[in-house]
Amino acid sequence: MSSIISLSGIHKYYGDYHALRGIDLEIKQGEFFSLLGPSGCGKTTLLRVIAGFEDVSEGVLLLDGANMARVPANKRPTNMVFQSYAIFPHLTVGQNVAFGLRKKGLSKADMAAAADEALTMVGLAGYGSRAAHALSGGQRQRVALARALVLKPKVLLLDEPLSALDKKMREQMQSELRRLQRQVGITFILVTHDQEEALIMSDRIAVMFEGEIAQMASPQELYRRPATRRVGEFIGVMNFLEAKQTGTTEKAVSFDVEGLGNAEISVDQLPEGARATADVVGLRPEALSILFEGQNPTGRVADATVQDLAYYGDMTYYEVTLEGSSTPVTISMKNLISRPVLERGTKTRVQWDERSLVIFAA
């Protein structure tokens, strides 16, 4: 498969501040790619580097095979949806969408047709003659999308496009963006600090901390096998238990895990470089489950005490401590009619599976 974007050794300095520290990245044609990280991790800077709003201090950026070093932002085959949408308030919706088309040498009729088509695509058919400043947040977002997509860019850049919307609207736009992306087949690069949003929408995610990519993987891979403790913490909820390595064979490594006892981890479950250094293992809340009375265990079992709980309606999150350990462990349980909700202080048993233990690289 061909790379539409290829970054190698990208560094960016602002004076003494090292904003991007050697980014290597290949993004495939038609991919929905997300840059995920906390604020200040460099994800927006990286997006702006691709758009051409920031020059790189070092490194090479190829867009569809062409070096972008001397190509200014207005000549790049990328378009951006800004966090603030940046809708031109003195123009109509139609003029906003057609803004970029004026340079393409189209006839007036073709321009209007293309703008109408783009507006229809984002669900704003017939809004062309409205004043842009009178639109709602969600509508502005759609106009910004139409304005960028109408130019048929090779890559669409989205800078936290959903952060200004309320929860309902955001969820609606998430699925709509996904649908649009599949429909037009354009490569999307999304910058977000919302891990859930990244998981829902992306084909692949690059998690960034302090100007570096900590891990790049599919949402499933990222959630199941976070490469570092920090990635595991950032994406979803993760429990961490102390672990001591007790032995190694050809096929497996054994650990003595706090509260759970001996665990044998098969080699292909280990990330590279993890063998000698792992002193902590990770466990997702759904990897543990409470054994209710009368239930037969299907995995390994450990004793635990319920310390606290949070009832969410469909789910209950229990905070338990395992026998012989004081580390609080979160367990998520689906609420079923046949299951009681345990009270604080209840002694219970939990079951777990060696295959769901996560070992981190150094």
Partner 1 sequence: MNWLRLYAIVYLVFLYLPVLLLPVFSFNDATVIAFPLNGFTTKWFVELAGIDALHGALKNSLFIGLSSATLSTLLGICAARASTRYRFPFKAPIMGTIMLPLVLPEIIVAVSLLVVLMQLGFSLTSWTVIMGHTLICTPFAIAILSSSFQGLDQSLEEAAVDLGETRWGAFSKIILPLVTPGIVASFLIAFTISMDEFIIAFFLTGADPTLPVYIWSQLRFPKRLPSVMALGTLLILASLVLLSIAEYFRRRGIRRTGAKDSGGFL
The residue among 135 and 333 lying less far from partner 1, judged by its C-beta, is 135
Taking the complex as a whole, how short is the minimal distance between the CB of residue 86 and partner 1, in angstroms?
4
The residue among 48 and 193 lying less far from partner 1, judged by its C-beta, is 48
Taking the complex as a whole, how short is the minimal distance between the CB of residue 30 and partner 1, in angstroms?
21
Half-sphere exposure of 96 (CA within 13 A, CB side): 31
CA distances from 336 to 315, 333, 340, 341 (A): 9, 9, 8, 9
Which of helix, strand or coil describes residue 229? helix
Taking the complex as a whole, how short is the minimal distance between the CB of residue 159 and partner 1, in angstroms?
9
Residues engaged in binding partner 1 (CB under 8 A): 51, 53, 72-75, 78-80, 82-86, 88-90, 99-100, 103, 133, 147-148, 151
In 10 A of CB 102, how many CB atoms? 10
Which of helix, strand or coil describes residue 45? helix
Taking the complex as a whole, how short is the minimal distance between the CB of residue 151 and partner 1, in angstroms?
7
DSSP 165: S
Q: At a CB cut-off of 8 Å and minimum separation 6, what does 293 contact?
A: none
Taking the complex as a whole, how short is the minimal distance between the CB of residue 66 and partner 1, in angstroms?
17
Taking the complex as a whole, how short is the minimal distance between the CB of residue 10 and partner 1, in angstroms?
20
Distance CA 341, CA 338 (A): 10
The residue among 80 and 361 lying less far from partner 1, judged by its C-beta, is 80
The residue among 75 and 167 lying less far from partner 1, judged by its C-beta, is 75
Q: At a CB cut-off of 8 Å and minimum separation 6, what does 312 contact?
A: none
The residue among 163 and 298 lying less far from partner 1, judged by its C-beta, is 163
Q: What is the largest CA-CA distance in the chain?
A: 77
The residue among 51 and 61 lying less far from partner 1, judged by its C-beta, is 51
Both tokens of residue 193?
């600090």
Q: Do strands 3-14 and 78-81 pair parallel, antiparallel, or not at all (unpaired)?
A: unpaired
